[in-house]
Amino acid sequence: MREIAFDTETTGLNPNDGHRLVEIGCVELVNKVETGREFHRYLNPDRHIPSEAEAVHGLSIHFLSDKPRFPEIVADLLEFIGDSPLIAHNAHFDFGFLNWELAACGYDPICLSRMIDTLALARTRHPGAKHSLDALCTRYGIDRSQRIKHGALLDAQLLSQVYVELSGGRQIGFSLAADPGIGAAIQATAPAVDRPIRAPRPHAASDEELARHAAFIATLVAPLWTELSAAA
């Protein structure tokens, strides 16, 4: 099954207030395993970036001024995500911005039935705990040392790992052999191992060892098992 973990960075909190996307990052998973295929673009929002937003993601209008605008990358983005389910943390936020940008380009919105919200999954699985992406990475031992500021691609990469853990953990990979394609790929890349057949080794005690054991037992004074045998 193909799924896409994605994240966005924006100029603010609400597209209806004139805020825009400035970055989008996507990571492809097949059967809950990252394939290495990614989609990442910085975007020129054609507006100033409030200092509060820049403090979160570190993207300035100076840096973004020569980057493509959303209409220039939308075809490539839609081709990459296809009709796969889309995973996001606090997904209504990311879907809201993405669908606003799509509508502004004349495209149909992405149906919310394709949405997988890891924030909702985390609240169900860990009620009462902290559910931020940082907190979930800490809970599951996922390295987030490079996350000095928010970044769409890095956050999508971390999110894909968090999603796997929320979906059952790394043991789900044990079922990959049931997929003929993946099983064949593993078999093709696995090195051949020549294991010679060896005769079974004897494990029974020899007569000499039994005699030495009996002599040792005879030296014990009131061993515990004699008391247990008498009590029985």
Residue 3 has pLDDT above 90, yes or no: yes
Residue 23 has pLDDT above 60, yes or no: yes
Superfamily of domain 2-176: Ribonuclease H-like superfamily/Ribonuclease H (3.30.420.10)
Judge residue 12's burial from the number of C-beta atoms within 10 Å of its C-beta, 0-12 exposed, 13-18 middle, 19 or more buried: middle
The predicted pLDDT at position 57 comes to 94
User: Average pLDDT, stretch 43-63?
Assistant: 94
Answer yes or no: are the C-beta atoms of 44 and 65 closer than 8 Å: yes
Residues 6+ apart with CB under 8 A from 33: 173, 176
Query: Identity (one letter) of the amino acid at 65?
Result: S
Percentage of the chain lying above the pLDDT 70 cut: 83
Residue 227 has pLDDT above 90, yes or no: no
Can you give the residue ranges of every domain in the chain?
Answer: 2-176
Q: Which residue among 19, 57, 150, 203 is the active-site one?
A: 150
- The b-or-e profile of 52-73 (16+ CB within 10 A means b, else e) is ebbeebebeeeebeebebbeeb
User: Average pLDDT, stretch 202-231?
Assistant: 78
CA 134, distance to chain mean position in Å, is 13
Give the span between the Cα atoms of 174 and 63, in whole angstroms: 44
pLDDT digits (tens, 9 = 90+) for 84-130: 999 999 999 999 999 999 999 999 999 999 999 999 999 999 999 99
Is the model more confident about 231 or about 39?
39
Catalytic annotation present for 150: yes
Query: Identity (one letter) of the amino acid at 21?
Result: L
Query: Identity (one letter) of the amino acid at 227?
Result: E
